[in-house]
Amino acid sequence: MFSIAKLSFKETLYKRIFLIALLMTIAFLIFFGVANHYASKELEEQLSFLGGDIGQLLMEKSMFATQILSIGLFFANFITILLTTLSTVGSVSGEIESHQIDTILARPIKRRDLILGKFIGLGSLLVLYSLFIFGGVILMNKLFGGALTITLSFEQFVKAGSLFLTLPLITAALGLWLSTRLTTINGGIIMIVLFGISFIGGFMEQFGALMKNVALQNIGILSSLVYPIDALLRRMTVMLFDVADSPLSFAAKGLFGTVAMPSNAMLIYSFLYGALLLFLAVRKFSKRDV
Amino acid sequence: MSDLVIQTWNLTKQYDGRAGCKNITLEVPRGVVFGFIGPNGAGKSTFVRTMLGLIHPTSGRAEMMGRPIGDIDTKRKIGYLPELFRYQDWLTGRQLLETHAELAGVPRHLRKKRVDDLIERVGMAGRADGKIRKFSKGMQQRIGLACALISDPDLIFLDEPTSALDPIGRREVRDLMSELKREGKTVFLNSHLLSEVETICDHVAIIHKSELVVQGEWRKLTEAQTRVQIRAAGLTKGILNSLDGLIRAWEPVDSSAEDNTQRFLLQLSGDDQIPELVNLFSQRGVMLYELVPIQPHLEDVFLHWVNRKEQEHVLNRQTVI
């Protein structure tokens, strides 16, 4: 299993997928830092002028701060999920299509170990990448956020970060499952569409909560059941922005805010969802011809 | 330990009820180069892929080295060069061998030497550190061959191993197979190149339209059609027809006006009938100048059995109608 994990890890590195992703991520982080800098500069000028209502300005500051960081994390998640999709959806089907898998399976390796090895290999790399981009976004906000800097406790950072790191793992399980059943192109289309459904469903759920519209909320819940990525991301933002000693929850504001917080049951469901997909991937691959 | 490394009982793999291989009952002795021959699309690769556990049989069963197919421990003793040799082309040749050594469970302390030796053995010395994607097809096939041998296997499946090689490369691979045989290993050679199989194989199995036609030592399979070429004087059509219990078929080849002799090609039931034939010719006053047994070629054997199978199919169809 660990030989396969090592091979998958090496493949992603050797093919320079991660090098390109890392370079583009650095470019994104620089861009995000510059945006933070100019946004905070403007706000600081307004605060120093004290021309307006100071209370209103402080409220606006809080909202802008959470929104800017949320946008950064939303995009970080987008890149991570996309990278996970690209690296997992063809990891089995692509090798079957090219017959690269033939000589591997002729070795004394259980098919179960091949899938689990790929999950471990790709998953560990994706977790490292997620940690890099999550930490990078927070760091940019710290370094260049100025007045828009979000103050986080270490505990908040660890809790939210841990949840952020599970997102690519759940997606990798989905990618591997699809990869054992479908061609690379079909699996890729399904994953991208599911990703879209998850986020649109998430927005619908938040609008539904604001408008007290049950139908919209149910659409959101349904989309989370199909692919719980958006629910996990929103839960992560709640963990990140909810300050214990503040009577206000900054996480509930704006387009990327979370009015209807995903429950603990949804958290458990998401983990079971990932585990089940991994189990189904192993089962399907054990039975299929290559 | 059994003398058979491969044994199958009605092994069948069908795709939607068609093609693949059907009811293959095969026995491969230990320590031979076994030729598995048949036209393109006959089901040769399907059989090999089933044996290796890449595809699951529809019915029947099979054993390799006394264990059911798919057995993990057995796979440690097996090497495989696929027909469609595609490897992780982002690796170098050496890295590929190191990876497969690890996957095959070769002890760490043996790996480097094993890799170096095999690179040398397949003629890739000095070229194995390049990326596989930059290798020519012939180089890829050579490194694939090294990959098949990395675990020092007892049984090696080679599926069309010389398809991308030039004549020198083909010769080298044939020599390598002979060496493996001398080392006591069994080579299962899957090929449609009959001349190649004829040179190095003693045992063959012929597969045609998914079904096994015949198996055994191929030179013995020619007994059914021992052929001799004779040059004789005084041999008439009447004499030849009178010996129809002995001569299964005959045809004139040419005649010489100078010494009044004529050449014929005769087909007998077996080699043991040659002395009797000479005796009968003598009794009938035929002057026999020359008798040359025609060395059989695998191609003749192959065509004989395939045609026979075809005729059986035609007869079966007629019976059904």
Of A192-201, B9-18, B21-30, B113-122, minimum mean pLDDT range: B9-18
Q: Which of residues 231-260 of B touch A (CB under 8 A)?
A: none
Contact residues, chain A, for B49 at CB < 8 Å: 102
pLDDT by residue (tens digit) across A83-136? Answer: 999 999 999 999 999 999 999 999 999 999 999 999 999 999 999 999 999 999
Q: What is the mean pLDDT of residues A185-205?
A: 93
Q: Which residues contact A93 (CB under 8 A, 6 or more apart)?
A: A179, A180, A182, A183, A184, A187
Are A108 and B80 in contact (CB < 8 Å)? no
Contact residues, chain B, for A15 at CB < 8 Å: 90
Q: Which amino acid is at B204?
A: V
Q: Is the CB of A22 inside 8 Å of chain B's CB atoms? A: no
pLDDT by residue (tens digit) across B31-73? Answer: 999 999 988 888 999 999 999 999 999 999 999 999 999 899 9
Question: SS in 3 state form for chain A?
Answer: CHHHHHHHHHHHHHCCHHHHHHHHHHHHHHHHHHHHHHHHHHHHHHHHHCCCCHHHHHHHHHHHHHHHHHHHHHHHHHHHHHHHHHHHCCCCHHHHHHCHHHHHHCCCCCHHHHHHHHHHHHHHHHHHHHHHHHHHHHHHHHHHCHHHCCCCCHHHHHHHHHHHHHHHHHHHHHHHHHHHHCCHHHHHHHHHHHHHHHHHHHHHHHHHHHHCCHHHHHHHHHHHHHCCHHHHHHHHHHHHHCCCCCCCCHHHCCCCCCCCCCCHHHHHHHHHHHHHHHHHHHHHHHHCCC
Q: Are B213 and B306 within 8 A, CB to CB? A: yes
Distance from the Cα of B190 to chain A's closest Cα (Å) equals 16
Percent of chain A's residues with pLDDT above 90? 59
Provide the pLDDT for residue A247: 45
Nearest to B183 by CA among B81, B32, B2: B32
Q: Is the CB of B75 inside 8 Å of chain A's CB atoms? A: yes
Closest residue of B to A5, CA-based?
B103
Quote the ipTM score. Answer: 0.82
pLDDT by residue (tens digit) across B136-185? Answer: 888 888 999 999 999 999 999 999 888 888 888 888 888 889 999 999 99
Size of the A and B interface in Cβ pairs below 8 Å: 63
Are B55 and A290 in contact (CB < 8 Å)? yes
Among candidates B55, B99, B147 on the partner chain, residue whose Cβ is nearest the Cβ of A7: B99
Q: Is the CB of A106 inside 8 Å of chain B's CB atoms? A: yes
Q: Is the CB of A280 inside 8 Å of chain B's CB atoms? A: no
Provide the pLDDT for residue A257: 65
Distance from the Cα of B178 to chain A's closest Cα (Å) equals 23
Among candidates A15, A103, A109 on the partner chain, residue whose Cβ is nearest the Cβ of B82: A103
